[in-house]
Amino acid sequence: MFEPFEQILAIEIALLQNETYRCTYAVITRKGDRIDAAEHHTVEGTLVKVLERLPRKFPVALALSGKGIIHKQIKGSGTENKDFFRTAFPSVERKDFYVQEAFSNDLVWLSIIRQALADDMVGKLQTAGLQVYALSLGALSVISIWELLSVPGGGFTANGHQFDVDETGAIAGYRYAEGTEDAGNLKLGDTKLKPALLVPYALAFQLFLHDKLSVIKANDTQVDNRFKDFLEQSKLKKAAGIFVFALLGLLLISFLTLTHYNAENAKLNEQVGAMTATADQSDLLKKEITEQKILLNKLGWNGGYSYAFLLNEIGSSKPKALTLNEVIFDQLKEDPKDAKDLLASIKIAGETANLTAVNNWIFLLKEKKWAKEVKLLRYQQDTESQNFQFNLLIQY
């Protein structure tokens, strides 16, 4: 409930020739330990056409492929040489590029894109209302889900991304070739995976588990800072949510406590009414109590029970099969059987499809100490809803 990400818009944009783009995107949903994508879409055309089709209001994980992105594979992840960029691109100024490093066994892939190109693309997505929280280059983010993939021996091609696989099932090589047909059957766990969903799944997986694995992404400071700000806001929302739940818990405890003491107060009222004075003052006290009861009833004392208590008693005993439409408290009136007692009544109107539930409820209400009499006044079928309407009268 307090996870920072529940749904992620995973987007792969391939930069083609002549200012055209191919965009594959999917909304990936996290349900417990499962990650599902109901559907994916592919759009090809100008960037304006692509942006028009993308859904909003989801955090975005973006991968850029195609023209302008260079991938270089080198060996040496287990050596002391850690300046992989200089090894892969000895004559390139690093300050002009965003760099992505991906590791698998003893292989390292260096991917670069000009900062101006990446900033322009991310900026246009931001202007269109899309919040980009991770920027990856190519399909090397697939390394994060490689252990979950069942890949064919020798390698496979998915959406232009070509992976070579050695005899142990590890990645032996990667390259991107636009226009290459998909080849090889992929499975993610026990689920068949469409080639077009390979990169979106990997992007979403990285963002969902950002705190448990090393995310393969380019070193775009603006995107990284935006992601950090989002996580900070998520922490504040989590803290606020916990505070609200704690407050609701306290309110519930207060309500239950007040209900308990109200019930105890009703019992004490009965005990006070039943107490007798000494033998010499017994008659005088009985007369005074009778007069006080009549006066209290005339003042609307409601029989000594609060409306909140009575409503709680009615609501807590009501079966789920019943729907209450109206609860009316009538003024006190004299009991024709005994003019000394004054009775109040409650009229209840509702509907149900189950007559047994009504009978069971009447039985439960009759068991209440405060209920003098419970009557079923009406029970008939409603021709419009196919349910049955009923009216109850409770005297107390």
Distance CA 28, CA 396 (A): 58
pLDDT digits (tens, 9 = 90+) for 106-131: 889 999 999 999 999 999 999 999 99
Strands of the chain, DSSP E: 7-15, 21-31, 34-45, 59-66, 69-75, 97-104, 107-114, 131-137, 149-150, 155-158, 161-165, 171-176, 186-188, 191-193, 322-329, 333-335, 338-343, 345-352, 373-381, 388-395
DSSP string, 92-113: S-GGGEEEEEEEETTEEEEEEE
Print pLDDT tens along the chain (396 aa): 445 678 899 999 999 888 899 999 999 888 877 777 767 899 999 999 999 999 988 999 999 998 889 999 988 755 555 778 888 888 888 888 999 999 988 889 999 999 999 999 999 999 999 999 999 999 999 998 888 888 777 788 888 899 998 888 888 899 998 888 887 778 887 778 888 888 998 999 888 888 888 889 998 989 989 988 888 877 776 666 676 777 788 888 888 888 888 888 888 877 777 665 455 567 777 777 777 777 766 655 666 677 888 888 898 999 988 888 999 987 655 555 554 556 788 999 998 988 888 999 999 999 988 889 999 998 888 777 778 899 999 998
Residue 286 tokens, joined:
């009985």
Phi/psi of residue 176, nearest 5 degrees: -120, 130
**Per-residue pLDDT at 332:** 58
**Per-residue pLDDT at 341:** 56
Residue type at position 297: N
The number of angstroms, rounded, from the C-alpha of 321 to the middle of its chain's C-alpha atoms is 28
**Per-residue pLDDT at 124:** 93
Residue 26 tokens, joined:
């999917």
DSSP string, 150-216: E--TTEEEETTEEEEE-TTS-EEEEEE-TTPPPBS-EEETTEEE-GGGHHHHHHHHHHHTTTTS---
Dihedral in degrees, nearest 10, Cα atoms 137, 140, 144, 146: 160
**Per-residue pLDDT at 203:** 92
**Per-residue pLDDT at 254:** 85
